[in-house]
Amino acid sequence: MDTTARPEVSPTPRHRRTIAVTGSGSGIGAAVSRRFERSGLRVIGIDVHDAQVTADLSGPGGRAQALAAVTELSGSRLDGLVVCAGLGPQVQPTEMIAHVNYFGAVDVLDGMLPLLAEGEAPAAVVVSSNSASLTPAHEELLGLLLDGDEEKACACAADVDGATVYGMTKLALTRAMRRRAGAWGKVGVRLNAVAPGPVDTPLLAGGLEDPVLGPLIEALPVPMGRRATAVEIAAAIGFLLDPANSYIHGSVLFVDGGSDALLRPDSL
């Protein structure tokens, strides 16, 4: 008998899983928080309102405050992270979209990696958008975002229309996710993105009310013939965070009713 054989890893987690969710106060973040809480997980919500951790992720001070609070509340150990906080393309000034959607997201990801590395079957999901692939590229803004110079990137974003800034922040966030697959894989933390199409939330309602953006959003063809609910996006996020899906890493899951496939059928 081989007495050196390692015991099989139990599929049942040894402790209550703890998941941090940014943007937990509304829409997709609220739906994913409810989903996890219903299945017995512990959720640490982060938002500017209606959250356990109140923090403004638009600047370095609020991001540091969020990290300190989550470190303390979680005992320096997270099993999951959902980076969901975001602003829609209708928000003015447009540089705020870059501060929150890109820099707020990557700083939270990088700041919380050490907590995730201590977790059990840990994974993170960033909420991108199908705007990442459907928005015509603004190479200068995209390059500045990915270079990580918040001041220069946001100065550039200030002179660009909101829909383009939104699309570039989501494209940069998707690339930032993919660029981290190597390093995160080495420390055993899975990292993926969901790319939703239009989802019925307050963010989308704001876009629909905008006289320029509203008709553009309405014109997006969706093969499924309807918009998503936040609950449907939460299900996809739950799938990517589930320890059973242990080999999914560095992937972008489109949850857009088929719009990206319809408009870019040969993109792979």
Q: Is 25 in the site for ligand NAD (CB under 6 A)?
A: yes
Q: Among 45, 80, 86, 238, indicate the residue that binds ligand NAD (CB under 6 A).
A: 86
Name, in order, each residue with C-beta under 8 angstroms of 14's C-beta and a sequence gap of 6 or more: 120
Token pair, residue 248, equals 């999914």
Q: Which of residues 62-81 bind ligand NAD (CB under 6 A)?
A: none
Alpha carbons 140 and 17: distance in angstroms, whole number: 41
Cβ(84)–Cβ(28) under 8 Å? yes
Q: Is 57 in the site for ligand NAD (CB under 6 A)?
A: yes
Q: Which of residues 147-206 bind ligand NAD (CB under 6 A)?
A: 196, 198-199, 201-204
Cβ(217)–Cβ(204) under 8 Å? yes
Give me the half-sphere count of Cα atoms (radius 13 Å) on the Cβ side of residue 106: 22
CB closer to ligand NAD, 104 vs 257: 104
Q: Is 116 in the site for ligand NAD (CB under 6 A)?
A: no
The piece of 2-10, 50-58, 180-188, 236-244 that touches ligand NAD (CB under 6 A) is 50-58
CA dihedral 165, 170, 172, 176 (to 10 degrees): 150
Q: Among 21, 29, 79, 125, indicate the residue that binds ligand NAD (CB under 6 A).
A: 29
Long-range own/partner contacts, residues 214-219 (CB < 8 A, 24 or more apart): 216/163
Q: Is 232 in the site for ligand NAD (CB under 6 A)?
A: no
Q: Is 238 in the site for ligand NAD (CB under 6 A)?
A: no
Cβ(172)–Cβ(232) under 8 Å? no
Q: State yes or no: is 166 an active-site residue.
A: yes
Q: Is 87 in the site for ligand NAD (CB under 6 A)?
A: yes
Least CB distance to ligand NAD at residue 92 (A): 14
**At 136, is the secondary structure helix, strand, or coil?**
coil
Chain residues binding ligand NAD by CB under 6 A are 23, 25-29, 47-49, 56-58, 84-87, 100, 104, 127, 129, 196, 198-199, 201-204
Q: Which residues are catalytic?
A: 166
